[in-house]
Amino acid sequence: MSGAHASDRPIVLCVDDDRPLLDLIERHLSSDYRVLVSDSGEGAIEILAQTPGTSVVIADMKMPKMDGVTLLAKIRVQSPAVVRIMLTGDTDQAVASQAINSGQVFRFLPKSCTREQLRRAVSDAVDQHQLIVAEQTLLQGTLLGAIQALMDSLAVVNPIAFGRAHRIRRLVLDLAKRVELLPSWSLEAAALLSQLGYLAVPEAVLERMLAGDRLSNTERRQIDRVPTVTCDLLGKIPRLEPVIEMISSLDAAFESRVSDVASPLDLLRIAADFDRYLLQTGDPQRAIESIRSHVARYPSSLISSLAAHIGADQQIAAMREVVLNRVCAGMVLVDEVRTDTGALLVPAGFEVTAGFLERLRNFPPGVSDRAIRVRVTAVSDSPAPQLAAASAR
User: 83-113: per-residue pLDDT in tens?
Assistant: 999 887 755 555 665 556 555 788 888 888 8
For residue 6, give the amino acid letter: A
- Residue 385 binned pLDDT confidence (cut-offs 50, 70, 90): very low
Q: How far apart are the first and last CA of the chain?
A: 30
Instruction: Examine the domain organization and report whether 358 and 278 are in the same domain.
Output: no
Instruction: Examine the domain organization and report whether 116 and 31 are in the same domain.
Output: yes
For residue 245, give the amino acid letter: E
What does the alpha-carbon distance between residue 239 and residue 237 come to, in Å, rounded to a whole number?
A: 7
Sheet containing 318-323: which strands, arranged edge to edge? 318-323, 371-376, 332-333
The residue out of 315, 330, 358 marking a domain boundary is: 315
The residue out of 133, 168, 190 marking a domain boundary is: 133
Q: Which residue range forms the structural domain that includes residue 100?
A: 6-133
Instruction: Examine the domain organization and report whether 243 and 302 are in the same domain.
Output: yes
233 inside domain: yes
Instruction: Examine the domain organization and report whether 311 and 187 are in the same domain.
Output: yes
For residue 359, give the amino acid letter: R
Radius of gyration of the chain (CA): 25
What is the DSSP code string of 263-292?
A: PHHHHHHHHHHHHHHHHHHS-HHHHHHHHH
Instruction: Examine the domain organization and report whether 184 and 326 are in the same domain.
Output: no
| Residue of 286 and 239 predicted with greater confidence | 286
Q: Which long-range contacts (CB under 8 A, 24 or more apart) does 230-234 make?
A: 230/193, 230/194, 230/195, 230/196, 230/197, 231/197, 233/150, 233/196, 233/197, 233/199, 234/193, 234/196
Residue 253 has pLDDT above 60, yes or no: no
Instruction: Examine the domain organization and report whether 325 and 281 are in the same domain.
Output: no
Q: What is the CATH number of the domain that holds 99?
A: 3.40.50.2300
383 inside domain: no
The three-class DSSP label of residue 67 is: coil
What does the alpha-carbon distance between residue 37 and residue 222 come to, in Å, rounded to a whole number?
A: 60
Instruction: Examine the domain organization and report whether 311 and 326 are in the same domain.
Output: no
177 inside domain: yes
153 inside domain: no
Q: Which long-range contacts (CB under 8 A, 24 or more apart) does 44-49 make?
A: 44/13, 44/15, 44/71, 44/75, 45/71, 45/74, 45/75, 45/78, 47/13, 48/13, 48/75, 48/78, 48/79, 48/82, 49/78
Q: Taking the model in full, what pTM does it have?
A: 0.61
Contact call for residues 45 and 22 (beta carbons, < 8 A): no
Best CA proximity match to 126, nearest among 4, 240, 233, 16: 4
Question: What digits encode the pLDDT tens for the residues 261-278?
Answer: 788 999 999 999 999 898
The residue out of 315, 334, 361 marking a domain boundary is: 315
Res 124: pLDDT = 95
149 inside domain: no
Instruction: Examine the domain organization and report whether 180 and 290 are in the same domain.
Output: yes
What does the alpha-carbon distance between residue 58 and residue 105 come to, in Å, rounded to a whole number?
A: 10
386 inside domain: no
Instruction: Examine the domain organization and report whether 288 and 165 are in the same domain.
Output: yes
What does the alpha-carbon distance between residue 200 and residue 225 come to, in Å, rounded to a whole number?
A: 9
Residue 378 has pLDDT above 80, yes or no: no
Res 284: pLDDT = 87
| Structure letter (DSSP) for residue 14 | E
How many folded domains does the chain comprise?
Answer: 3
For residue 382, give the amino acid letter: S
Residue 157 has pLDDT above 60, yes or no: yes
387 inside domain: no
What does the alpha-carbon distance between residue 374 and residue 179 come to, in Å, rounded to a whole number?
A: 28
Res 191: pLDDT = 92
Residue 35 has pLDDT above 90, yes or no: yes
302 inside domain: yes
- What are the distances in angstroms from CA 244 to CA 67, 109, 229? 37, 38, 11
Half-sphere exposure of 291 (CA within 13 A, CB side): 29
| Residue of 169 and 347 predicted with greater confidence | 169
Instruction: Examine the domain organization and report whether 354 and 240 are in the same domain.
Output: no
